[in-house]
Chains A and B, each alone.
Chain A
Amino acid sequence: METIQALEKVKRTTARVCSLCNQRKAALKRPKTLEQICIECFYNVFEDEIHRVIIENNLFKPGERVAIGASGGKDSTVLAYVLSELNRRHNYGLDLFLLSVDEGITGYRDDSLETVKRNELQYGLPLKIVSYKELYGWTMDEIVKAIGLKNNCTFCGVFRRQALDRGAALIQADKIVTGHNADDIAETVLLNILRGDIARLSRCTDITTGENGPIPRCKPFKYAYEKEIEVKTKSLTLSTYAYFKKLDYFSTECIYSPNAYRGFAREFIKDLERIRPSAILDIIRSGENFRISTTTRMPEQGTCQRCGYISSQKLCKACVLLDGLNRGLPKLGIGRKKECTRENSNNQEQIKRNPENKGPSLHSKHGNIEF
């Protein structure tokens, strides 16, 4: 009886065999071509694509120390897994490790940090957790104590933006990689257009940013060309890969997405995509093709005199805020009340996630994690 049932089941779900290997049963649609393929071939296609993106775009050089920005979420977990596989398989010669940021918020990051600690063992990648305390001398809890709940979002926004860079510098990384995918970049294009943020719009489609800064960042899933063919990895692909590979990741925020603005963009894009499947790639392309008039004055980029971080001012925003904190004048440097809705307002393009929802009230309003 069981076998008959099993057979029927097979019959029902295997209308077709995989169009790549012509052997195993098709289980998935290939994201770009919509061919029906099996899970094994899906792995191969995905891993080969990432490999080619890395090679064609010269993302790495042998011997480099590469920090994988690891939040414990799906994207960075897939990135850590795939990159360590490819590094072995194709002898990239990279010295890979996981880099996580602990903001020092009691009960907030604990679960996702536990996930990253398991990933360290699962993938055999050394893990470095840098804390706000280490980076800034203050935990987020202490900052909140000093300034109250009202303005803390200015601090966590600014501090988060810099934390990965500072953490990577601390452990002498040559490069940072993050798990941003095509959906993220499409959202960012849309948000930058809505905000009229031209400087960021022009950068946000690049696969590598900050090449002039101390530590370049690259996003192998985000966007790249490979022999004229665009390769963009979508969130759905990463989720599918993580599910079938049984990767251990932490589903943070999701649902209560505290950042309404980005949440709205995401929802909007998903609805567009339902009507027009190419919507995500179209938005990215339009962002890329945006031409900025040569007479437009762009903010000049320099570096912070104190910490060396990219800044258009003498002191970067983090150093100004720290100054205030350390001198007991925490309000110093909090000029704009709207900081929370302008989540991307720094010089280095970074996309934010809105992870925890279960976090304490101080994150109920915004709570972005910076990977």
Chain B
Amino acid sequence: MRLTLEFGGGLELLLKESVKLHQVDVTQKSGEDKVTMRDLLSWVKGNLIKERPEMFIKGDSVRPGVLVLINDCDWELCGNLDAELEEKDMIVFISTLHGG
């Protein structure tokens, strides 16, 4: 499944490739025909993150203070971890913990 991921607020610094926009191809788990946010988070953790995963993931969700948007909609309105993703969805992760 092709997805566009955007990382901001400093989260991009945790990635192997420290850029904001990532076009990715996320494979479904075998036997599953859908990709949920839960699947995506573990995929990101396994494939994109280079260091300090705890700055991004806490437990099985994102760390508190990370804003998550699915197609520019707060993921809390879309079902959080259970939100089902679709081809060409755009998912944004922004750390809101720092300002200045």
With both beta carbons as reference points, the residue of chain B lying nearest to A273 in the complex is identified as: B64
B-facing residues in A34-86 (Cβ within 8 Å): 36, 39, 71-76
B80-100 contacts to A, CB under 8 A, are 84, 86-89, 92, 94-100
Q: Provided the pairs A26-B77, A255-B14 are in contact, do residues A13 and B64 lie with their beta carbons within 8 angstroms?
A: no
State the CA gap A9–B78 with chains docked (Å).
11
Which residue, B52, B89, B98, has most C-beta atoms of chain A within 10 A? B98
User: Is B95's CB under 8 angstroms from A244's CB?
Assistant: no
Query: 5 A-B contacts, Cβ less than 8 Å apart?
Result: A235-B98, A236-B67, A243-B8, A251-B9, A271-B64
Whether the pair B9, A74 counts as a contact (CB closer than 8 A) is yes
- Choice from A25, A252, A270 contacting B10 with Cβ under 8 Å: A252
B9, A13: Cβ atoms under 8 Å? Answer: no
Instruction: Write the nearest CB–CB distance from B8 to chain A, whole angstroms.
Output: 7
Please pick, from A29, A36, A252, the residue contacting B98 in the complex, using a CB distance under 8 A: A252
B residues contacting the other copy or chain, number (CB 8 A): 35
Determine which of B55, B67, B87 lies in contact with A239 in the assembled complex, contact meaning CB atoms within 8 Å. Answer: B67
A12, A239, A355: which contacts B100 (Cβ < 8 A)?
Answer: A355
Contact A255 B88 (CB under 8 A): no
Choose among A28, A255, A353, A369 the residue with the greatest number of B CB atoms under 10 Å from its CB: A255
Q: Is A371 an interface residue (CB 8 A)?
A: yes
- Interface set of A (CB-CB < 8 Å, partner B): 5, 8-9, 12-13, 15-16, 25-29, 36, 39, 71-76, 112, 179-181, 183-184, 235-236, 238-240, 243-244, 251-255, 257, 266, 270-271, 273-274, 353-355, 357, 369, 371
CA distance A271 to B54 in the complex (A): 13
Nearest chain A CB to B53 CB, angstrom units: 11
Whether B14 contacts A239 by the Cβ 8 Å rule is: no
Q: Which of A74, A243, A254 contacts B13 (CB 8 A)?
A: A254
Q: In the complex the two chains form, is A270's CB within 8 Å of B64's CB?
A: yes
Q: In the complex, what's the smallest C-beta–C-beta distance from A167 to chain B, in angstroms?
A: 16
> Contacts A75-B100, A255-B52 known; A9 to B86 CB distance under 8 Å?
yes
Q: 15 more A-B contacts (CB under 8 A) besides A5-B87, A254-B55, A271-B64?
A: A12-B84, A13-B77, A27-B77, A28-B73, A29-B76, A73-B99, A74-B9, A235-B98, A243-B8, A251-B98, A253-B98, A253-B100, A254-B97, A255-B11, A270-B65
A74 CB contact (under 8 Å) in B11, B52, B89, B99 = B99
